[in-house]
Structure 1
C-alpha cells in the first residue's frame, strides 16, 4: 500500500490567487499516477482553497458554524476538481471527505474510520482525501492537514511507501540545499532549519510535514519529501526510486 500527498502549493496558486488550480500540473500528475495507481491512497492539500477560509474564520481558535461550512465547501470544490482530473487521466479515483469520518481533539487528529478506505483500495479504487475541517472534541472544530491524514492513514493501514509531493525539492537546510536524509542523527538540526509557512498556511507548512513524518519514522515507516512540480518525480516515487529527502529512523 502506498500513501501519497500532493501539496496544495503544487496544485494551486497558493500565495498569489485564491481558488486558482494549476490544471497543467494536475493533468500531468494524473498521467504519472494512472499506470501506477494500484494500492494507492492519495491525499491533497487545501492550497488557496481551504487555508484562506480557515484563517479568515479563525477555525481552530473559536467555533464558527460559518467557518466550518465555508472551509469545508472550499476544500470539497478543490477535491472535485482533482478527482475529475484524475478520472479523465485514467485513475479510478473516488472522493473521501475527512469531515464525515474523522475526529480531532485539541487540534490533533485522534480517530478516523478507515475500513471503507481499505475496501476501496482492495477493489482497485484510489481514495482521494484532502485537508479539511473536522469536528473537534475540545475546540468544536479544527483544521486537519493533509500531512496529518497521511501519517494517520499510513500508520493505521500499514503503508510501506509514503511520500509528500511538495513545491520544494525536499527538506532544505539553512542554505536552501536538499537534505538527503533525516534521521535521529540530524532531526534536531533539521527542526532548526525548517520554518513555519507564512500567514497563508493554516497547518504548519514544512514544519508540519517533518513532524508528522518523524512520528511515522518512530513506527518504522520510511517516507520521502520531494518536488511534485518536477516532471517524472511522482512516477519515480511510485516506482520506488529515491526522490528528494528520505525520512527514517535508522535504529529501528
Structure 2
C-alpha cells in the first residue's frame, strides 16, 4: 500500500494574492496517471483554496472557519471528480469531521472494499479551538498507523542542496540539508512550505521509504521506480 500526497501548488495557482484558481489541466494529467489505481491513500493540499483564506479571515470565529473549510471542499470536489473520471473509486474524507478522534479502522475497511480514501488540508477542532491541519501532517499521521510500503510527496519543486537536486537523504547528510531549507517564498503558505514537508518526511521515514519529487516523476513513482529525492528509512532526530 502507498500513501501519495499531491501538493496544493500542483493543482492550484499558489502565487501571492491568488484566490481559488485551480489548475484543471494538471488535475486531469494526474488523474490519468492514477487511472484505476487501488490500494492507495491520497492526500492533497489546498493551495489557493486554503492558505489565502486563512490569511484573510483567520480561524477565530464560526464564519471564518466556514469560509476556509468550504473553500477546501470546493477544491476537493473538483479534484475527486477528475479522479472519478479516470476510474478511481474515491471516498472523500474531510478532516474537519474526521479529527481529532480519527477512526482509522474505518479507513482500513474502505481500502478492503476497494475505495481510495482522499484526504485534504483543512481546519480541525482541537480541544476548544480550531487550527489548520496540513496535508503533510495528515500523511505523517496515516503513515504512522498504516506503515505503508512507501510514501510519496509530489510537488512543484524539489529538494535542492548546493544548487543540485538531492538524490538520496540518509542519516549522514539529512542535517546539512535541513539547514538549507526554508519555508516557501512568494507563495501564500500557512503550513511551512518545503521545510515542513521535509521534516514530516523525515518523521515518516522511521516507518518506510519516503520520496519528495517533482510531479514530472509521478508516473515513475507509481511504477515503483526510484526517483529523487529518496529518503532512506532511518531514525532521524529533529
TM-score range, shorter chain: over 0.9
Are residues 1:206 and 2:194 paired?
A: yes
Alignment of structure 1 residues 119-158 onto 2, 5 Å: 119-137=109-127, 140-158=129-147
Could you tell me how far apart the structure 2 residues matched to 1:146 and 1:97 are? 11
Could you tell me how far apart the structure 2 residues matched to 1:113 and 1:197 are? 32
Which residue is equivalent to 1:54? Answer: 54
Among candidates 137, 146, 163, match of residue 152 of structure 2: 163
For residues 219-248 of structure 1, what are the alpha-carbon distances to aligned partners after superposition, in whole Å with 9 as ceiling and x for unaligned? 2311101111x2xx2221111111120112
Over 3 Å counting, the alpha-carbon distance change for 1:251 and 1:43 in structure 2 is closer
Which residue is equivalent to 1:93? Answer: 90
Q: Any stretches of 5+ residues in structure 1 without a counterpart?
A: 104-110
**Alignment check: 8 A CA contact 1:43 1:149 kept:** yes
The alignment partner of 1:185 has SS state of coil
Are residues 1:186 and 2:181 paired?
A: no
Over 3 Å counting, the alpha-carbon distance change for 1:15 and 1:251 in structure 2 is closer
Could you tell me how far apart the structure 1 residues matched to 2:172 and 2:57 are? 40
Which residue is equivalent to 2:35? Answer: 34
**Alignment check: 8 A CA contact 1:194 1:207 kept:** yes
**Alignment check: 8 A CA contact 1:14 1:48 kept:** yes
Could you tell me how far apart the structure 1 residues matched to 2:80 and 2:162 are? 36
Which residue is equivalent to 1:108? Answer: none
Q: Any stretches of 5+ residues in structure 2 without a counterpart?
A: none
Which residue is equivalent to 1:68? Answer: 65
The alignment partner of 2:35 has SS state of helix
Alignment RMSD? 1.6
Task: Give the 4+ runs in structure 1 shifted more than 6 A.
Answer: none
TM (norm. structure 1) is: 0.88
The CA deviation at 1:250 is 4.7
The alignment partner of 1:43 has SS state of strand
Could you tell me how far apart the structure 2 residues matched to 1:156 and 1:188 are? 26
The alignment partner of 2:114 has SS state of coil
Over 3 Å counting, the alpha-carbon distance change for 1:251 and 1:76 in structure 2 is closer
The alignment partner of 1:242 has SS state of coil
Which residue is equivalent to 1:84? Answer: 81
Which residue is equivalent to 1:43? Answer: 43
The CA deviation at 1:118 is 1.4
